[in-house]
């Protein structure tokens, strides 16, 4: 029987080349005009959104979890918000937080083009300031974190507190660009996020290019 892994891959070797990743994304992820628009960041906006396969994964996880009420920390220009918003159960809503007012304006336009203007609310401000204002909409079915790395442990604690049992906490850049085990403020914050999710959820770190933590609240 073929093996699902081998010692090299379990030790960290990866067989996913650029052409392989591109081929898989083209096959499995359908980009309509709205997603194409949101993925093509305007001049001056960093292209730091999730990749096509990761966006598709977020949507599939939300569909599997029957997510209706969700929070996203880190909108950028709305690419991941479109994936999540389209996956919500009927009557669902996504509150997406974006610190930069210019990025938030682009996101609102992209979400409107995707037909999600009424289903996704982009809230401007720092995550640590905005999250308390959303608590009245909870408990939530999912919280996706893709924002400033120094506050991941704080965002994770908020998520676990305000998710329903069985709700999803998702954290992108969980390998911290290779810095996860470094003795830095960022490294400690990201390790704290991992540890908090592992303590309060059934969890795994999915080995996407930069790691995606998935936790299901106990």
Calculate mean pLDDT across residues 100-119.
97
Calculate mean pLDDT across residues 137-144.
98
Q: Is residue 10 part of a domain?
A: no
Which long-range CB contacts under 8 A does 63-68 form with residues at least 24 apart? 63/87, 65/141, 65/142, 65/166, 65/167, 65/168, 65/216, 66/141, 67/92, 67/141, 67/142, 67/168, 68/92, 68/93, 68/141
| CATH number where 147 lies | 3.40.50.150
Q: Is residue 70 part of a domain?
A: yes
Does 145 score more than 80 pLDDT? yes
Calculate mean pLDDT across residues 12-38.
92
Output the six-digit token pair for 9.
């891959």
Q: Is residue 94 classed as helix, strand or coil in its secondary structure?
A: strand
The range of the structural domain enclosing residue 143 comes to 17-44+51-217
Tell me the pLDDT band of 3, cut-offs 50, 70 and 90. Answer: low
pLDDT, residue 159, reads: 98
* Alpha carbons 94 and 86: distance in angstroms, whole number: 10
Q: Is residue 198 part of a domain?
A: yes
Does 218 score more than 60 pLDDT? yes
Q: Is residue 103 part of a domain?
A: yes
**Order of strands across the sheet with 93-98?**
120-124, 93-98, 69-73, 140-145, 163-172, 212-217, 201-206
* Alpha carbons 47 and 45: distance in angstroms, whole number: 6
Q: Is residue 9 part of a domain?
A: no
- Per-residue model confidence as pLDDT tens digits over 179-200: 999 999 999 999 999 999 999 9
Per mean pLDDT, which range of 43-47, 78-82, 146-150, 167-171 is the poorest? 43-47
Q: Is residue 2 part of a domain?
A: no
Does 93 score more than 80 pLDDT? yes
Task: Give the other-Cβ count within 10 Å of 26's Cβ.
Answer: 11
- Per-residue model confidence as pLDDT tens digits over 63-81: 999 999 999 999 999 999 9
Q: Is residue 29 part of a domain?
A: yes
Does 133 score more than 90 pLDDT? yes
* Alpha carbons 25 and 176: distance in angstroms, whole number: 23
pLDDT, residue 1, reads: 43
pLDDT, residue 4, reads: 63
Helix residue ranges per DSSP H, the chain: 7-10, 18-28, 33-39, 52-64, 79-87, 101-113, 127-134, 152-162, 185-200
pLDDT, residue 44, reads: 87
pLDDT, residue 2, reads: 47
Number of domains in the chain: 1
pLDDT, residue 197, reads: 98
Pairing of strands 212-217, 163-172: antiparallel
* Alpha carbons 212 and 195: distance in angstroms, whole number: 14
Calculate mean pLDDT across residues 116-129.
97
Q: Is residue 197 part of a domain?
A: yes
């Amino acid at each position: 029987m073929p093996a699902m892994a081998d010692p090299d891959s379990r030790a960290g070797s990866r067989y996913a080349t650029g052409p392989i990743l591109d081929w898989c994304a083209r096959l499995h992820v359908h980009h309509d005009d709205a997603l194409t628009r949101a993925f093509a960041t305007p001049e001056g906006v960093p292209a730091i959104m999730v990749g096509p396969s990761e966006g598709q994964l977020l949507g599939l996880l939300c569909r599997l979890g029957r997510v209706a009420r969700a929070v996203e920390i880190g909108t950028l220009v709305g690419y991941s918000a479109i994936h999540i918003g389209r996956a919500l159960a009927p009557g669902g809503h996504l509150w997406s937080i974006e610190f930069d007012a210019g990025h938030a304006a682009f996101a609102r336009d992209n979400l409107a083009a995707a037909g999600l203007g009424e289903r996704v609310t982009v809230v401007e401000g720092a995550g640590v300031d905005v999250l308390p204002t959303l608590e009245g909409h909870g408990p939530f079915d999912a919280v996706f974190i893709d924002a400033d790395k120094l506050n991941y442990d704080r965002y994770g604690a908020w998520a676990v507190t305000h998710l329903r049992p069985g709700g999803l906490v998702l954290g992108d850049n969980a390998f911290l660009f290779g810095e996860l085990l470094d003795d830095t403020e960022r490294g400690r914050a990201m390790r704290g996020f991992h540890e908090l999710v592992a303590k309060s959820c059934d969890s795994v770190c999915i080995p996407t290019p930069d790691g995606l933590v998935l936790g299901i609240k106990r």
